[in-house]
Amino acid sequence: MNFQVVIVGAGPAGLAAAYELSKRNVRDILVIDQGKAASKRQCPMSKNYNNCARCDPCSIMCGIGGAGTYSSGLLNLNPYIGGDLTEFTSDEREAWELVNTVDQMFLENGAPNILFKPDRERVEELERKASSADVRFIPIDQRLIGTDNACAVIERIHSRLEGWGVKFLLETKVAEVKEGELLLEGGEKVGFEYCILAPGRSGMKWLEGQMSRLGIQTQYLPVDIGVRVEVPASIMEPVCSIEHDPKFHIRTSTFDDFVRTFCVNHKGFVVMEVYDDHVGVNGYSFTNKASDNTNFALLVRVGLTEPLEDTTAYGRSIATQITILGGGRPLLQRLGDLRRGRRSYWSRIERGAVKPTLMSVTPGDVSIGIPYRLLTDILEGLEKLDRVIPGIAGDSTLFYAPEIKYSAKKVLTNKSLETRIPNLFVAGDGAGVSRGIVTAAATGIVAARGILKKM
Ligand SMILES: Cc1cc2nc3c(=O)[nH]c(=O)nc-3n(C[C@H](O)[C@H](O)[C@H](O)COP(=O)(O)OP(=O)(O)OC[C@H]3O[C@@H](n4cnc5c(N)ncnc54)[C@H](O)[C@@H]3O)c2cc1C
C-alpha cells in the first residue's frame, strides 16, 4: 500500500489534519488508528459512569476521535490554553485563525452553536476579586459539545472525510516508523510521501521510542499533580455562570509554585480512570443530566532537573503509591478530615454536605500519598480560591486523588512541526505540542499546512 499522506492517530489532531488536507483537495490520504470507529467504541454513557473501571480503557482513549470522543467535549477557544499555538505561527493573529478553523470544523459537523462568551462587566468584577486574593482569572470563550454529543460529532467528521475520499485503516497498530514507510503490527508495510504522527497520550511512549530510534530529539515537560475537588454546585454557580470552565492561576505563598484549576465540570461527575499500574480520577459533564456537585482538578505544576528529569516517572510513582494506599481505587478524603490530620471513613463522608459522585473509591488520607510540598500548594491554592469563591474550602469539600496530568515528551521540530527527517511531521498531545482538543486539532492543521507548503 502506498499513499501520498499517511496520518497515524484519528484523534482531534489526526482528524483535523485530514480535514485541512481534504479541504485543499489532497485526495490520497490514509488515516490509521489502533482503535475502532466511534460508534463501535464502548461508550461510558451506556454504563454506570461511576464504575468506569469496567470500561475497556483503550475504548475510551483509542479509536476515531481519540481521547476526545468520550471527553466532555469542551472547546477552549484560546491559543494559549492547552499549549501555546504561537510557537507554531508567525504571529498571534495566525494562532487565533487556527483556533477559529478548528471551531469551524466542529460547528460544520454538529457542535452546538452556543458559545459561552463571558460577560465583560462580570468578568471585570471577577478579575478584580481574584486579584485582591492574589489569584488570576483567565477569561476564555468556550463551546461545550458535551460528552453525550461528542460521539455523534466525531462520527459526522469521520463520514464527511470518507465522503471526500479519505481512507481509514482501523484496529491496526503502527509498530514502527521508517523513512517513507510504516510497519504495521502483523508485518504489512504502508509507504508514504508525507506522514503525520499524532498518536495522542495513549501512544506517547510508542512515539518516544520511535523518535529515539530515528535520532529525533525529545525533551521532558512539566507534570501537573494534584487532586480533583468536589463541592456543591451552588458554591460554584456564581463563577460557572460567568464562564463554563473557569480557569484560575495561583502562585502559592510558601513555595511560590504554580497552581491552577483545570477541567471544571459544573453539575458533573467524577470518574475513575484505569492505567497499567495505577488508577486516576477525571471529570465529566453531560448536556442531558446533572449532579448536585461541581468538580475540578486543582493541580501543581512540577518541573524537574537533573538527576531526575523524567516528570512522568515522578508522577507515576505518586499515582502508584496512592493506588496502593487505596487498595486499587482512588483515595477520597473530606477536607475537614485532612485539616484535622485524620483519615476519612464513609460514615464521616456521609455526614458531610457533599455526596460524592464517584463511589468506587476508598475513603482515606491523601496526605500519606501526596508529597508535603504539593499538598501544601494544594491547600494554600484552595484557601486563596476561597477568597474568590466563598465556601470552596469548606470542611465538606471532597478531595479525590490521584489527579495527574502527564505531558508527553516534546518532539523537537521546526515551526511547521516537521521533524529533522524530511516529510515526517508530528502533531497533538502525544508529541507534547498540545494538551486539549482545540490545540491538538490546531497542531494537526499546522502539520497539514506544512505538508501543503511542500507539495
Ligand atoms: C476523560 C477525558 C476528558 C477530557 N476532556 C477534555 C475537554 O473537555 N476539553 C479538551 O480540550 N480536552 C479534553 N481532554 C483531552 C483531549 O481529549 C485530548 O487533548 C485530545 O484528544 C488529544 O488529541 P490527539 O489527537 O493529540 O490524541 P488522541 O485524542 O489521544 O488520539 C490519538 C489516537 O492515536 C491512536 N494511536 C496511538 N498510537 C497508535 C499507533 N501506534 N498506531 C495506531 N494508532 C495509534 C489512538 O488509538 C488514538 O485514537 C480530555 C481527555 C480525557 C481522557
* pLDDT tens-digit readout, 371-410: 999 999 999 999 999 999 999 999 999 999 999 998 889 9
- Predicted local distance difference test score (pLDDT) of residue 52: 40
Of 220, 419, 455, 195, residue with least CA distance to 315: 220
- Predicted local distance difference test score (pLDDT) of residue 43: 53
Q: What residue owns the CA closest to ligand 1's atom 50?
A: 71
Of 103, 87, 107, residue with least CA distance to 95: 87
Phi, psi of 181 (to 5 degrees): -155, 145
pLDDT in tens, 46-67: 443 333 444 455 667 889 999 8
- Predicted local distance difference test score (pLDDT) of residue 41: 75
Is residue 38 a contact partner of residue 65, using CB atoms and an 8 Å limit? yes
CA dihedral 153, 154, 157, 159 (to 10 degrees): -100
140 Cα–ligand 1 center, Å = 22
> Which of the listed residues 144, 176, 201 should we mutate to test ligand 1's pocket, taking the one with most ligand atoms within 8 A of CB?
201
- Predicted local distance difference test score (pLDDT) of residue 242: 93
67 Cα–ligand 1 center, Å = 3
200 Cα–ligand 1 center, Å = 5
Helices and strands in the chain: count of H runs, count of E runs: 13, 22
Residue 173 pLDDT > 90, yes or no?
A: yes
Burial of 128 (0-12, 13-18, 19+ CB in 10 A): exposed
Of 14, 18, 102, 138, residue with least CA distance to 66: 14
Q: How many residues does the chain have?
A: 455
CA atoms of 111 and 141, how far apart (whole Å): 15
139 Cα–ligand 1 center, Å = 25
Is beta strand 362-363 parallel, antiparallel or unpaired with respect to 331-334? parallel
> Which of the listed residues 59, 71, 182 should we mutate to test ligand 1's pocket, taking the one with most ligand atoms within 8 A of CB?
71
Specify the higher pLDDT residue, 244 or 267. Answer: 267
Residue 47 CA, chain-centre distance (Å), reads: 22
Q: What residue owns the CA closest to ligand 1's atom 36?
A: 199
CA angle 215, 221, 226 (to 5 degrees): 145
The pLDDT > 90 percentage for the chain reads 82
Query: For 441, how many CA atoms within 13 A lie in the half-sphere containing its CB?
Result: 30
CA angle 398, 294, 392 (to 5 degrees): 55
CA atoms of 210 and 215, how far apart (whole Å): 9
257 Cα–ligand 1 center, Å = 28
Type and span of the H or E element at 294? strand 293-302
Domain ranges of the chain: 2-113+145-219+410-454, 223-405
300 Cα–ligand 1 center, Å = 22
DSSP 291: -
- Predicted local distance difference test score (pLDDT) of residue 223: 95
The pLDDT > 70 percentage for the chain reads 96
CATH of domain 2-113+145-219+410-454: 3.50.50.60
Is residue 16 a contact partner of residue 428, using CB atoms and an 8 Å limit? no
CA atoms of 392 and 386, how far apart (whole Å): 5
- Predicted local distance difference test score (pLDDT) of residue 143: 92
Residues with CB under 6 A from ligand 1: 8-14, 32-35, 61-63, 66-68, 71-74, 76, 82, 173-174, 198-203, 206, 282, 428-430, 434-438, 440
Question: Of ligand 1's atoms, which has the minimum distance to the CA of residue 14?
Answer: 25
429 Cα–ligand 1 center, Å = 7
- Predicted local distance difference test score (pLDDT) of residue 54: 43
- Predicted local distance difference test score (pLDDT) of residue 51: 34
> Which of the listed residues 437, 443, 445 should we mutate to test ligand 1's pocket, taking the one with most ligand atoms within 8 A of CB?
437
Q: DSSP characters for 401-446? A: EEEEE--PPEEP--TT-B-SSTTEEE-SGGGTS-SSHHHHHHHHHH
